[in-house]
Structure formats: C-alpha cells, structure tokens
Chains A and B, each alone.
Chain A
Amino acid sequence: MAAAGGKTYSFKVVLLGEGCVGKTSLVLRYCENKFNDKHITTLQASFLTKKLNITGKRVNLAIWDTAGQERFHALGPIYYRDSNGALLVYDVTDEDSFQKVKNWVKELRKMLGNEICLCIVGNKIDLEKDRHVSVEEAEGYAESVGAKHYHTSAKLNKGIEELFLDLCKRTLFLNAVYTVSLSVFHNTTGFMINQNCVFQSATWHCSFTHKQLIMFSVVL
C-alpha cells in the first residue's frame, strides 16, 4: 500500500463557541460512532482523539474543547495556540452565538494569521423551523474570511463525519502548502508565495502530490 512508509500527521483542533451550542455533543457524536465506542463511557469529552486515513496519509486528530461561557473568553489563547484547525460552532437558532463566532474569527486571524484552518459550523439544523441565522448570511460570511461553512446536527448525526473529514483534508493541504512555501522561501531568497492568494483561490483537495504542489506554488 502506498501509505506503508508514509508519515503520520498530528493535528490539533480547537473547539470554540458559546456554551450550549452543542460543541460537546458534536465531538462526542463524532468520536463515539467509531472505534472508540467501547471506551466512551469512561472517556471525557473535553479532550478526544481520532485517527483517520486520508488517501494513505495517517492523521491523528486531537480535539480540544474550550469553555464557552463569557467569563472564560479571555482564556482562549491558552487553548488555541499552536492549533492547526478551529471549529467555530454556533446554534442556528441563536443569532447571538453567531456573533460570538465572528468575534472568534477576528481574534484567531489576528493572533494566528492564515496558518489555521477555520470551519464555521451551524449546529442544531434539526431545529430548522426555529432558524435565526440565514444560510446565505452564514455562508457568505465564511467565504469572506477564508473559512468554510458546514451545517450539522449532533442530534441526528448529520454532517459531522463530513465536517471532520473535510477539516482534515484542508489541514493536510494547508500543511503541505506551508511546507512548500517555506522551502521555496528558503531555496530562492526573496520569493514567497502570497499566502492569502493560496488561501482563497485554492480548491480544497488533498490529492495533490508533493511535486504537483511545488509546481502549483511556483505558478502562484
């Protein structure tokens, strides 16, 4: 198999969002459905791990939950530093929780730049009839900040698998682009690919080979 000698990636993903938007059930749902169901009764949901195999690349995801209450907001940087990805969760029936997501996005971009993969997640789509955040608004906003938007329901187990899979692929891609851009930077002094450009125009596929990526970044 192609992956036999491949390297294993370890990614840290931080969960941000107001209390009660369902961060915990989301990640619990994701992790309990799979191999871990034997242990779930003793494991706690604040920190969970998941192993994935994406086109031969082994990925270990470590999912860090954070406390969403306002009084803990300031502790954010302690948790999200060195994250490869962030899940910004809001409740589609709660306009306020979407505003909180916007605050987080601003802060994350300011503190971590474009090196972090942002996923904005509208949870509780099983309560569609009480929706207070419009799909267009949410998706438009996500695009404007270089994030991707997802709809999930932890209750119905909808969209969760796809969310994490996509997050992994994008993180792998980002990881590859940054590795390449760094090596390009080192090899030909003074030349660095425009990070924003990569970030916004790239279609998120992780099927690039290393060689393709180098060509890709040189073209940029």
Chain B
Amino acid sequence: MRRRHHFKTSVKVRVSTENSSPLSPPVLPPPPPPLLAKAKCKARLKAAKQMTPPVAVQASEEAIKKTVEEATDYMQPCESSQKKAKVTSTLSPTAEEDDYQMPKAQKAQPKILEQKGQEEDEEEEDEGLVLEQRHAPSLSELDSSSSLSSLDETESPECPPLVGGTSNPVMQPPRKSMSALRKMSAAFISFFAPEKRVARMVEDLSRDRRMAFGALVQDFLRQQRDALKPHCLTSAVQLLQDLRLFINQAKDFLLECDELEPPIETLLTENEKDQALEKAMFRCVLKPLKPQIDAALRTLHKQDGSFQRMMDSLQRAKGASPQKLFGVQVGVPDAQGIEKIKHKLTLMQRAYSPIDKVLLLLQICKLIYKTMKNKSGQEFGADDFLPALSYVMVLCNMPEISLEVEYMMELLESSWLTGEGGYYLTSVYASLSLIQSQPEDVPLNGLTNQARVSLKEWSRRRSNETTSQKDNKLHQRFIKVLFQDGDSSLVKTLMWKTALNGEAMAQLCAVKFGVDQPEDYSLYWRRDRVLTPLPPNAQIQDLQSMGMSGVPFIYQASSQDERSQKLNRGSAVDLTEAAS
C-alpha cells in the first residue's frame, strides 16, 4: 500500500517535471551508460532548443561532449536530479509521516510505522530535513570541498546580463585552478540544477527594468547606493535590517507578480522554493551592493569604536595564554590548522550570501571538532567545544569576524537561525563576547551590558519580524500599474499602504506617470477579464481577498474605456467626479 503511494507520487512528479522543463534530466531511471545518455540528452536538448537561448544550448552540448569522456562527472547531474525526486516524494503526507518517530507509548496504535527495515526512509529523512527546515546541512554532510554558490560561481558566458548598465562591481574571488573539463561539467550541472536555474531567472528578471520586478529591484539598488555613502550612514543594524526587509518584500512580490517564466512551481517543490528564492534574492540584492555594504559596515564599526575594542581584546587574550584562559582540555588545531581556518574566514568575508557564510562557518567548526577528536574517539558537547572555538578565534586574530557574525545574524532568515547554522553562529557570537569580556569582569556578569542590551533588541526584532511578516503583507503591498496613454504604455511598481484608498492610489499614479490632468484618468483593474474601474474607497485588503494578485492595474484616460467597457461607464464617471 505504501509502496503504491510512493509510486503514485513519483509518477506525478515525473510528469510535471517533463512537461514544464524539458531540460531537466529524467527523474526516475538510474544514470544510463554514457553513450546512451549522450543520445538521450541530445534528443532532449533538441526538443528544448526553441525554448532556450541558442548559446546556452551550445554550451551545454559541449559540456556533454566533454563529460561523456568522464563518466564520473556525468553522474553528477543525474545524482542531483534523483535527490530532487526523493525530496519531492517526502512531500506526500504519508511519506513524511514516516520520518517522525512515534513515542513508545503509542506504538500499540494502528497505522504506525515499523521501525525496522527502513533504511531507505532514513536516507530520505536526512535530505528532507535539510531542505524542509531550510536549515544548514548538518556538519556531517559538509566537507571542505562542498561548493558555495556565491564563491565559486563564475559569470558564465552562456548567459550575459540583460542590462549592462547596472554597474555591477563584483569582486571576483580568485578561483582555484580548475581544469577546462571540470569547468564545463560545472556549467553543465548548474545548467540543469533547478535551484540555480531559478537563481539565474530571478537575476535576469531583476536586471530588466521593463519588468515590474526588475524596476523594483533596480530602484532599490539605486536608492541603496546613495544610502550607503559614508555621510548617510546611521547604524549597522538599521542598514542590514533595511536590506532584509526589502528581500522579504521582493520575494513576496516576485511570487505574486507572475513574471517568472516558467513559473517557479514547475521547477521546484514547495519545500525547495523558499530556499531557492532566498538565494536568488541574495544574488540580485546583496551581490551588487557587496562592496558598498562592506565599506559601510567597516566605517560604522570603526566610528563607534567596536572594531578597535575587538582588536584590543583579541590581542589581550593572545597575550594571556588562551589555552589557560578558556580552560581548553581538548586537542586544538596546530599552526597549519589555524591557517586553514583563517583561509576559510577570508573566503567567508568574500561571500555575499549569508547562507554561504554560515556554511563556511560550519566547515570551520567541523575542522575544530576534528582536531578535538585527535586525543580520543569520544563525542564532544559544548563544554569542550566552546573553549576550543574561543581559542581558535583568538589565534586567528581577525577582528573582522564580528562584522561577519552581525551580517549573518541580521540577514539570515529565522528558520536558519534555529538550526545547526544558527547554533554555531550563536557559539561564535558567544565566544567573541567571552573574548571581549576578559579578564576584568569575568565572574557572573561577564556579558557586557552593551552585549546584553543589543542581544535583547536583536531577539525582539527578529521575533517581531517573523510574527509580523504575514501582517506586513496586509500593511503594504507592491502593485504593478500599467499606464496607457495613446500608443505608449509604461509599467511602474507602486507601493500600496493600508492607509491609502483607491482614490489616493489614482492620485499617486497621476504623480508617478506625470499626468497633467488627473481628472481625465482613472485606475482600472481586470476582474473576470472585464476592465473595471477601481472604486474610490477600495482598500488593498479588499482587493486581495477578491483574488487580485499579480494582475496589473491599468491607469488610463477615462474616455479610452468607453470602447472596451460600456457597462461600467457610469461608475467610471463617478470615480472621476469623486477624484476632482
């Protein structure tokens, strides 16, 4: 019975993948032998040619040619697609049910899984957990070679940015020497990985000013470039919070505006969607702003003296024999190990994505655990880990880490902060506080008052943010308005706050589109394919409840509407009367 269910789900998944994205590799069958694969892929690519830019196809065909020679490389995309299928199947309620352990007391009840012989489900659980909770992968899954999108990605030639004028001064991190073959297969993988595809789509869209989403993002970037100039800065927290808020809003907007083609639902499951969007948003907001954000944060922390304090504390701790200072009783990294960790911290500074930063942090923690293990095979808890971590932090002597911690704490979504990434981020924060509080105020209230206050504020802010995120959707919404005047038309994205009614929005449109005689124009919306004037007292909540999402409003001369909508003419006149 269960098997049957599994089967059903997988069939469903398969069909939807093939229908919607002809480029995705097959979901179910195991990786075919290379030659067969070549033929298959070619056929698929042929089928897909109309849908994709020719350059991209060419690139991936080349990639295939290369990868055929190296069977192991070829396996990778298939592997990732199988992974996807697995995760998808956990979507089905029964499959997911199986992952949860029933307490002993309830074992007698019917419909409870047998706990034995579930090897397969166990594997599913792990993958499912990672994506489902949107937490960082656990330490066990990380190794130093796992790839980080914001670091090892290259501006792949197959997809040039649509708009060149966005001035995108991104630091290119020095790449490890990669053979041409590896590069091609990397391109191949990224071409097929749905998450990367979504990221690429969102990024292209965000650069296209003709689209509402593009206009929204580009306007924000322009405004931020001004706000990040040294003389405009106020506080680091405010700065990061503004970024986070915009990312949240833009994500909502993107989901509502239907501008993604193909729709994201056809590429990713519900569980993967949020994480993919999150990464995509980092890419189109944080990446272009990275140099400015970094400079601003450095300036702010130099101004308020916290950077200097951190530097002094590290120096002091280093002079005071850190091993004794923190009571380290386990193995710690040697000079070479410290260099390795420092290298990872440098990579962390280069990454723009808070998710990549936190993954690097997890890699560092794993390295520390490894050296702790040298002396015995035992498992270590925080009693041993925190001293070792503090020791490593002192030896690395990089005061900039505190800026990195702040960046992650403010920009990571709260679901990440409660997971493993959040735990180790907290540990670094704790060890930095410890280092700063040494040695005068060690006993009992070692945590400086300042740290206490800022923690409390942070906590309140972040919990408010999660609870009010849904409210937020009601308090303000971005809407698209299509302006039609004679032959010319123009789309703008406007913010509709709760306090405004339909009439006020019409006035806002008049200003935004530079209309001289606002009384001649009105705001319309399509309802059941019929162009209807917007009632002057309409509120954004009402429209939402009527299923107004993603459909653009239309702002045009009231008389134009006669042709298309005689029935509604009366109320249109009413509207203009009310407006004047």
Contacts and interface: CB of A to CB of B under 8 A. Distances in A.
B455 A46 contact: no
A52 B369 contact: no
Contacts of A15: 381-382
Contacts, number: 151
Contacts of A62: 418-419, 423
Contacts of A47: 420, 423-424
B125 A35 contact: yes
Interface centre among B97, B129, B444 (most CB of A within 10 A): B97
Contact of B140 (A1, A24, A43): A43
A209 to B, nearest CB: 17
Interface stretch (B205-213, B383-391, B570-578): B383-391
Interface string B401-441: 00000000000000100111001101101100110010000
Contact of A42 (B139, B386, B437): B139
B33 interface: no
Interface string B440-452: 0011111100001
B426 A78 contact: yes
Residues of B contacting A: mostly: helix
A78 B380 CA distance: 20
A71 B447 contact: no
B471 to A, nearest CB: 12
Contacts of B433: 74-75, 78
A109 interface: no
B133 A60 contact: yes
Interface stretch (A2-10, A120-128, A143-151, A183-191): A2-10
Interface in B453-511: 455-456, 459, 463
Nearest to A3: B97
B323 to A, nearest CB: 13
Interface in B61-115: 93-94, 96-97, 99-106, 111
A196 interface: no
A64 interface: yes
A10 B133 CA distance: 9
A74 B430 CA distance: 9
Given A68-B383, A81-B455, A81-B459, A44 B139 contact: yes
B428 to A, nearest CB: 10
A35 B420 CA distance: 18
Given A43-B138, A165-B103, A165-B105, A67 B445 contact: no
B379 interface: yes
Nearest to A54: B103
Contact of B99 (A1, A12, A51): A51
A75 B430 contact: yes
Given A53-B100, A62-B419, A165-B105, A82 B459 contact: yes
Interface residues of A, number: 54
Which of the four size classes fits the interface of chain B? Answer: 35 or more
A214 interface: no
A50 interface: yes
B327 interface: yes
A45 B381 CA distance: 5
A75 B326 CA distance: 13
B111 A35 contact: no
A78 B430 contact: yes
Residues of A contacting B: mostly: mixed
A28 B377 CA distance: 14
Interface of B: 93-94, 96-97, 99-106, 111, 118, 122, 125-126, 129, 133, 138-140, 326-327, 369, 379-383, 385-387, 415, 418-420, 423-424, 426-427, 429-430, 433-434, 437, 442-447, 452, 455-456, 459, 463
30 contacts: A1-B94, A3-B97, A4-B97, A12-B418, A15-B382, A19-B383, A24-B383, A38-B122, A43-B138, A43-B139, A44-B379, A46-B382, A49-B129, A49-B419, A49-B420, A53-B97, A53-B100, A53-B102, A53-B103, A58-B97, A59-B100, A68-B383, A70-B443, A72-B386, A74-B433, A75-B386, A75-B430, A75-B434, A75-B446, A78-B429
Given A35-B118, A44-B379, A81-B455, 20 more contacts: A15-B381, A28-B379, A35-B122, A39-B138, A42-B139, A43-B140, A51-B101, A65-B381, A67-B387, A68-B383, A69-B327, A71-B326, A71-B442, A71-B446, A72-B386, A74-B447, A75-B433, A75-B447, A78-B430, A161-B104
Interface of A: 1, 3-5, 10, 12, 15, 19-20, 23-24, 27-28, 34-35, 38-40, 42-47, 49-55, 58-60, 62, 64-75, 77-79, 81-82, 161, 165
